[in-house]
Copies of this chain bind each other. A is one copy, B any other.
Amino acid sequence: MSQIRQPYLLFLGDAPDRLAAKTAVGVYDWRPDACVGQFRLPGCVPDLGIDEPGIAGAVERGARTLLIGVANRGGTIPSSWLAPMCEALEAGMDIASGLHTHLDSIAELRETAGRAGRALIDVRVPGESYPIASGEPRSGHRLLAVGTDCSVGKMYTTLAIEREMRARGFDADFKATGQTGIFIAGGGVPVDAVISDFIAGSIEHLCPAAPHAHWDIVEGQGSLFHPSFSGVSLGLLHGAQPDTLVLCHEPTRSHMRGLPHQSLPGLQECMEANLEWARVVSSNPRFVGISINTYHVDPADRESLLGRLEDEFAMPCVDPMVTGVGALVDQLAQ
């Protein structure tokens, strides 16, 4: 996958609701300065509340890439999107997408991009070949967010940690391993799309040896305990070679995401398992805290929940969107 050129014009298409446009929402939440505006078609419901400069206006503002920030049912590209997409290519923008339908499978886009000399970037397609992981100890700090399950807040946690660390003067970079994270960072490794022999190698490539004071803040994926995706999680853990981990958890979930028969691991069990496997590649890995997604928790109960977990595990317990992650970053400074 090529580097994605920022800033973006966020394409919301004819999204029926905010959830359908969650990629655009996530990118704008975390990189407002990398977005020159939004592009909405007639019938589009969600509204980021930012300018709509149109294609030509976006180019004037410096937009380099039209970012398809909407997921259509079935991951297809409806014909109503093609005119503005081609206009963007002809105006000098690349197009980047995480949809199932590959951009270059559509002749009109492929031909227009070829003629205009612009790139069609599918972030589900790893565009480079990665090495086999060596597992050799390497310099620099790496923090990895791991989870009791999929979709429990690993991306938001790592982005919040990067923001807080940078605000405090740390040399820290968020390293993306999923589609939305890749749009936010402008690059990364779509690890769930990598050939399985190269999972760990792709992550070694993503966060290589670095100066001693540098921190790579690595977005985790899945869970060691999720039988559909555990291989990705273990390969990612071994490739990341983290010295520092944060456990992410969604406390209202009754079973593993998508698997009604599969129960969640306990937090203690999940931390121990991740430490056990981190030790295969890291000499002294440690958890610096727990990140709880309390979105579905009664607001009146949030504080006591976080407090109880802090007492139980004797480490900071935060919700990035409620308390911030300052308490986690305090631990890194030590």
Binding site for B on A (CB under 8 A): 132-137, 191-197, 199-201, 224-225, 227-236, 238-239, 256, 258-259, 261-262, 273, 276-277, 280-281
Contact check, A228 vs B135: say whether CB atoms are below 8 A apart. yes
Given contacts A193-B195, A195-B195, A234-B234, contact A133 B200 (CB under 8 A): no
Which residue of B256, B258, B259, B280 contacts A227 across the interface (Cβ within 8 Å)? B280
Q: In the assembly, how many copies of this chain are there?
A: 2
Alpha-carbon gap, A230 to B225, bound state (A):
15
Q: Which of A136, A228, A234, A273 has the most CB of B within 10 A?
A: A228
The 9 lowest CB-CB distance pairs between A and B, nearest first, are A231-B235, A135-B227, A192-B197, A227-B238, A199-B231, A231-B231, A133-B228, A234-B234, A196-B196
Q: Is the CB of B235 within 8 A of A196?
A: yes
Q: In the bound complex, do residue B238 and residue A281 qualify as a contact, i.e. CB atoms below 8 Å apart?
A: no
- Given A199-B196, A259-B135, decide whether A236 and B228 contact each other with a Cβ distance below 8 A: no
Residue in contact with A133 in the complex, picked from B192, B227, B239, CB distance below 8 Å? B227
Bound together, the chains give a CA A332 to CA B232 distance in angstroms of: 32
Known: A196-B196, A227-B280. 16 other contacts (CB 8 A): A133-B227, A135-B262, A136-B261, A192-B197, A194-B195, A195-B196, A196-B231, A197-B229, A199-B232, A224-B277, A230-B277, A230-B280, A231-B232, A231-B233, A231-B236, A234-B235
Q: Which of A230, A232, A239, A273 has the most CB of B within 10 A?
A: A230
